[in-house]
Amino acid sequence: MSAPDPATPRLAIDELIACPRCDALHRAELPHAGERAICRRCGTVLIAPRAGSYGRILMLATTIMILMFGAVFFPFLQLRVAGLRSDASVFDTARAFAGGNMAPLAVAVALLIVLIPVLRVLLISYVLAPLAAGRRPARHAAAAFRLSEDLRPWSMAEIFVIGTAVALVKLADLAQVVLGPAFWMFAALVVVTVLQDGFMCRWSIWRALEAER
Ligand SMILES: [Zn+2]
C-alpha cells in the first residue's frame, strides 16, 4: 500500500458509483429533474430518478399480485384429444405432482415461478410504500431491499413462459392445445415485471434508505 497521492481529491465511498456493466468509477451526483446519469465509458444508465416513480412501482406491484393470483388458479391450458377435454391450472398441476417422486420438482416450480416473485413484490412494497408517502423508511427496510435484490436472479416467471411455449409446440403434434387465460396472465406478468424494474432506480432508493438512518 502506498500513501495517497496528495493531488488526488479524496472522495468518500458513498460519493462514488461503479458502472454495473464495465466497472468504471464515477462521482455520483443527483441528475437534474428529467435527466439521467449514464456511464462515460459504456453508456449504461447509472442513475435515473423519476418523479412519482415510487407510486408507479407500487401500482405495478399490485398489478403483479393480481395477475399472479389469476396465473396460478385460472386454467393454464386445455388439451383436447379424441373428444376428451382436460383443463389444468398451475395449482392443479403442482398438486398432482406433489405426491409422487416428482415432489421436489413441484416444490421447485412453486418456489421459482410463484413464491419468490410474490416475496419480491411484498418486499419492494414494504420498502417503497413509506417512501412514496414521504415518510421515514420502515424498520429493516435496507435489509428487505437487499433481500429483494438478491432474489432477483431466482425469480423465473419469464423462463417458465418460454419453457411452456417450447413444450406446447411439441405437444401440439399429439393433441389440440388451447391456451387458457392463465398463460396470458403469465405473459403479462413478465411484461409488468420488466416495466417495474425499469422504473426502479436502485441508486435513488438506496440513497433514500441511507439518508434516514
Ligand atoms: Zn460502464
Binned at pLDDT 50, 70 and 90, residue 144 comes out as very high
Cα 36 to ligand 1 centroid, rounded to whole Å: 14
Interval 64-93 mean pLDDT? 86
CB 182 within 8 A of CB 75: yes
From 19-33, 59-73, 113-127, the region with the lowest mean pLDDT: 19-33
Cα 19 to ligand 1 centroid, rounded to whole Å: 5
pLDDT of residue 212: 59
pLDDT of residue 8: 59
Q: Which residue has the cell 419468490?
A: 116
CB 98 within 8 A of CB 194: no
Binned at pLDDT 50, 70 and 90, residue 88 comes out as confident
Whether residue 138 is predicted with pLDDT greater than 80 in this model: the reply is: yes
Nearest Cα to Cα of residue 138 among 125, 121, 119? 125
Instruction: Render pLDDT for 148-187 as a digit per residue (tens, 0 to 9).
Output: 999 988 877 777 878 887 888 887 788 888 888 998 998 8
pLDDT of residue 44: 87
Cα 195 to ligand 1 centroid, rounded to whole Å: 22
pLDDT of residue 64: 93
Nearest Cα to Cα of residue 164 among 142, 180, 149? 180
Amino acid (one-letter) located at 74: F
pLDDT of residue 1: 45
Nearest Cα to Cα of residue 129 among 76, 205, 63, 183? 205
Whether residue 207 is predicted with pLDDT greater than 90 in this model: the reply is: no
Average pLDDT, the chain: 84
From 66-80, 84-98, 116-130, the region with the lowest mean pLDDT: 84-98
Give the Cα separation of 61 and 186 in Å (integer). 14
Cα 25 to ligand 1 centroid, rounded to whole Å: 8
| Structural domains of the chain, with CATH | 1-48 (no CATH), 51-211 (1.20.140)
Cα 132 to ligand 1 centroid, rounded to whole Å: 30
Cα 46 to ligand 1 centroid, rounded to whole Å: 8
